[in-house]
Amino acid sequence: MSSRSDINASLARLKKVAPAGYFLALHIRFAAPLMQYQTYPAAWADRYVQNAYALRDPTIAWGFSTTGSCRWSSLPVPDPFGICKDAAAHGLIYGLTVACGPISSRTICSFAHDEREFTDDEIEMILDTVRRLHEITEPPESLTKAQKEALRCIAEGDRHAAAAAKLGITESAFKARLIAARERLMARTTAEALQRAKEYRLL
């Protein structure tokens, strides 16, 4: 199974177990995740952003302080801004936060249920799935010289034919290098691969 299909299968599993939605922040570095996925209701997602809740969210504070899992009803972190209460008013009544990975590349994910607490078995499955997502989305340590050259040509605005000529290779070989770079960076498009390579400081 490819990384992309593995990610999609994991997201589908998580969607089934968290009927009120989830938010996954994978590999948080320099205060921003390298990848994120979310299925929370739009009204809650908008409210969360408009009120800058991420800066005060007790689930995020908990996730940076430790690893493992914690039901929202048992969070040992204060919630002076009433974010959990506000979430409940938007249908995110019961929840779970899981965190894994080193502090320099922490993954923090939250899951919501509108009818009941998550069971111990569900928590174990969620934790295993998040750990797997953390592993398969680990950014590469490097790109090959050929992949870097191809991405640099695109960054400089070269079209495929011109880039291939500049590198002394065929256009199909150039395209193959771009495809390899996209796969290595788990990017759908060359533009996304270029952005990730810059974010990961690989160029």
Q: Do 125 and 181 fall within a single domain? A: no
Angle at 84 between CA 25 and CA 69, to 5 degrees: 50
pLDDT in tens, 169-192: 999 999 999 999 998 888 889 999
Euclidean distance between CA atoms 8 and 91, whole angstroms = 25
CATH classification at residue 120: 3.30.450.80
Q: Do 47 and 22 fall within a single domain? A: yes
Burial class of residue 102 in the structure, from the number of CB atoms within 10 Å of its CB (0-12 exposed, 13-18 middle, 19+ buried): exposed
Domain final residue, candidates 136, 161, 181: 136
If one counts the domains in the chain, the total is: 2
Residue 2 has pLDDT above 70, yes or no: no
pLDDT in tens, 26-66: 999 877 898 899 999 999 999 999 999 999 999 999 999 99
Range of the domain at 163: 145-199
Q: Do 58 and 129 fall within a single domain? A: yes
Nearest CA among 110, 21, 26 for reference residue 62: 110
Q: Do 9 and 104 fall within a single domain? A: yes
- At residue 17, the 3 state secondary structure works out as helix
Domain final residue, candidates 136, 166, 191: 136
The pTM assigned to this predicted structure is 0.79
User: What percent of the chain has pLDDT above 70?
Assistant: 99
Q: Do 126 and 191 fall within a single domain? A: no
Q: Do 117 and 187 fall within a single domain? A: no
Domain final residue, candidates 136, 157, 179: 136
Q: Do 107 and 152 fall within a single domain? A: no
Euclidean distance between CA atoms 111 and 109, whole angstroms = 7
Nearest CA among 139, 95, 100, 129 for reference residue 9: 129
